[in-house]
Amino acid sequence: MNTLKTWLSAARLRTLPLSVSGIIVGIALANHAGYHNPFIVLFCLLVTIGFQVTSNFANDYGDGTKGTDNADRVGPVRALQSGALTASALKKGIVISASISMLLSIILLSYTFGITRFPLFLLFMVLGLLSVWAAIKYTVGSNPYGYIGLGDVFVFLFFGLLSVLGTKFLLAEHLTPWDMLPAIAIGLLCIGVLNLNNLRDVHSDKKHGKNTLIVKMGFKNGKRYHGVLLLLSMLSFVIYSMSQMPSLIANAYLLVYVPVFFHLRKVIRTKTPSDLDPELKKLAISTFLLSLGFYFSINYFL
């Protein structure tokens, strides 16, 4: 019998802080504009967690059925790989998780837009369905986009732009050009976490036909790419802060980039892909702390 512990392991709860980082930044941007709504905030977080869990189940199923998760792979053993869950059970888990996520989305959008603003309701429902599709299609199906080097693009779009800008719009119902900068910054950091995963697994992925961007560009160029991602994310936040957050203390959240660049130094000096495994957690936690710092800076120091 599948236990709750097994399903929680398959849900990969440690990935949740990174997944909500964009939501937190979007909330901060709305608060900066004077908009607050606890109900919308709660459901934005719940919907995002639902999508992330769906993605984690789907990744476990997709990589497991394709043989990408195997003894060659570095990192935690997956549920299907270990035999803790069957492919059939994981498929049911994907359906249930996706259904719950969409139900939460309907509640959120019904509350936010009601029936009087149906075009906006419909637009965000389509975005929600696309989020479910992206969560599943990363590794599942005959031609998953994660296997042809497009994972970085989708992470940027969904974890960066949609997460940040969508959350702000649901709360404030307007966006400004300046909002793009924090959204870009979070999107680049989330790509960085995916990039670390792909750097770590480059040999296994290449062996099993998972042609990630790192497999295509090579390990050495992948490390340079990682540096570009982190530098551009910091530059985006710095430009936003200089223009929109004149208080010196409000910019203290940028100090989170200190451990980020220690992390980058470690990545650049690493020659063995498997040695990068501990760096995944460091960058994911740093991104989460950066989003929290941004939130508190806007709400308490401006």
252-269 pLDDT, tens per residue?
999 999 999 999 999 999
Inside any domain, residue 6: no
String of DSSP letters for 268-291: HH--SGGGGHHHHHHHHHHHHHHH
Inside any domain, residue 140: yes
Residue 248 identity = L
- Please state, in angstroms and rounded to a whole number, the distance separating the CA atoms of residues 61 and 211: 18
The tally of domains found in the chain comes to 1
Inside any domain, residue 5: no
pLDDT at 32: 96
Which residues form the domain of 254?
A: 14-300
pLDDT at 142: 85
Closest CA to 142 of 62, 228, 224: 62
pLDDT at 1: 44
pTM of the prediction? Answer: 0.95
Give the tens place of pLDDT for each residue, 267-290: 999 999 999 999 999 999 999 999
Inside any domain, residue 215: yes
Inside any domain, residue 268: yes
Inside any domain, residue 7: no
pLDDT at 229: 98
- Please state, in angstroms and rounded to a whole number, the distance separating the CA atoms of residues 31 and 148: 39
Exposed e or buried b per residue across 116-144, where buried means at least 16 C-beta atoms within 10 angstroms of its C-beta? eeeebbeebbeebeebbebbbbbbbeeeb
- State mean pLDDT over 213-221: 97
Inside any domain, residue 44: yes
